[in-house]
Amino acid sequence: MIDRSDFIRRRYEMGNYFNKIIELFVKTTDVSTSSRDEFHRWLTGEKFSREKEKALQGLWDNIEEVTPAATSSQTQRSLDEVRKKIRQRHHKVNIKILRVWQVSAAVLLIALLSALYFTSNETPVNADLIEQYVPVAEMTHLTLPDGTEVQMNSTATLLYPAQFNGETRSVYLIGEANFKVTKNEEQPFIVKSNDFQVTALGTEFSMKVYPDETLLTTTLFSGSVEVRFNNMESSLILNPSEQFTYNKRTKEETISRPNLDDVTAWQRGELVFRSATLEEIIPVLERKYPYSFVYTVSTLRNDRYTFRFKENTSLQEIMDIIVEVSGNIKYRIEDNKYYLSPL
């Protein structure tokens, strides 16, 4: 057993409540379950999240990195296991196991890369970037430094600078969010994503760019926005009530006039599906509820369903209805997972 506290240098002890709590927790080797749970709840709680983040980064910085000479046999064993997993990954085709964290991992990766890339054009790379991440099954509302109001859906990530200094107000989004942009014609507000970006002056629009979905959308509620896509080579202007959809696989774009009530349903906690396949519905459920789904692709037919679920509907109620309506699948729940199989 390695004594973890050895990794933490003394300097780290000088701090405030937040550092002190983390330090005490690190020091307590056989912590009771109740204290551990309480610590975990505190750590992931919304209150003082910025201070906690700072303390966590301090903890991270103070864990030593290893020189190749000091490699332990434990690390070597882990490396062997990771190598094995890498090889297996390239063979797995049949069973699709979706795990929410994998998605969020991919999300963050893209976010990080792109954020660094985008910001490097305008401001120094180490300008203070703030990352707002919404965990599974939660929603967050935040106000940006310019007063712009953002409502974020589950598992979304938004990166934004502590101050908008440049010629534009650029933020980076993965996932779904609604923006009520504070008017400032001198400094356009730009939401970037991996496949397209939206420029607004003072307006309200929403954007949905989840990495695990093929169709990306942005919907304008008022004002006007410019959408740039296809590696920034194409652009078009949206009118109010119009929705821009971009298929990242075929690179095709379409403009439609959706039911705006459907587009904003998530902000009221509702779930709306319009002629959607189960394959499209499941990722949405996995974001909204802390469960994942396990199924073989052949279990899901290509039937299309239209559902509207009210706020606070439990996942079990939803699944009961889906099973009832589809008539060809059943489910069982085990360890936070829904196993789907043919009836």
Partner 1 sequence: MNTESYRKEFEEIFIQYFPKVRTFAAILLKSEQEAEDIAQDIFVKLWEQPDLWEGNLVRNYLYTMVKNHVFNRIKRKNLESKYIYSQINLHSLEEMTEFKDPLNEIYHEELQLLLKLTLEQMPEKRRQVFEMSRFGHLTHHEIAEKMDLSVRTVEQHIYLALKDLKKLILILIFFIKF
Q: What residues numbered 132-161 form the site for partner 1, per CB under 8 A?
A: 133, 135-137
In the complex, minimum distance from the CB of residue 64 to partner 1, in angstroms, rounded to a whole number: 7
Select from 68-76, 244-252, 261-269, 312-320 the region that touches partner 1 (CB under 8 A).
68-76
65 binds partner 1 (CB under 8 A): yes
Q: Which long-range contacts (CB under 8 A, 24 or more apart) does 335-343 make?
A: 336/290, 336/291, 336/292, 337/291, 337/292, 337/293, 337/294, 338/291, 338/292, 338/293, 338/294, 339/293, 339/294, 339/295, 340/293, 340/294, 340/295, 340/299, 340/300, 341/295, 341/299, 342/299
In the complex, minimum distance from the CB of residue 100 to partner 1, in angstroms, rounded to a whole number: 7
Are the beta carbons of 155 and 287 closer than 8 angstroms? yes
Q: Which of 3, 10, 46, 85 binds partner 1 (CB under 8 A)?
A: 85
Q: Which of 25, 221, 307, 339 binds partner 1 (CB under 8 A)?
A: 25
Q: Is residue 234 classed as helix, strand or coil in its secondary structure?
A: strand
Q: How many residues bind partner 1 (CB under 8 A)?
A: 69
d(CA 52, CA 17) in angstroms, rounded, equals: 9
SS (H, E, C) 271-283: EEEEEECHHHHHH
In the complex, minimum distance from the CB of residue 212 to partner 1, in angstroms, rounded to a whole number: 14
d(CA 241, CA 104) in angstroms, rounded, equals: 30
Q: Give the x/- contact pattern for partner 1 in 281-310, rule: CB under 8 A.
A: ---------x--------------------
105 binds partner 1 (CB under 8 A): yes
Q: Which of 27, 301, 308, 330 binds partner 1 (CB under 8 A)?
A: 27
Q: What DSSP string runs through 66-93? A: PPGGG--HHHHHHHHHHHHHHHHHTT--
59 binds partner 1 (CB under 8 A): yes
Tokens of 112: 């990080």
Q: Which residues bind partner 1 (CB under 8 A)?
A: 2, 4, 7, 14-18, 20-21, 24-28, 31-32, 34-45, 47-48, 56-57, 59-60, 63-68, 71-72, 75, 78-79, 81-82, 85-86, 89, 100-102, 104-106, 108-109, 112-113, 116, 131, 133, 135-137, 290, 336
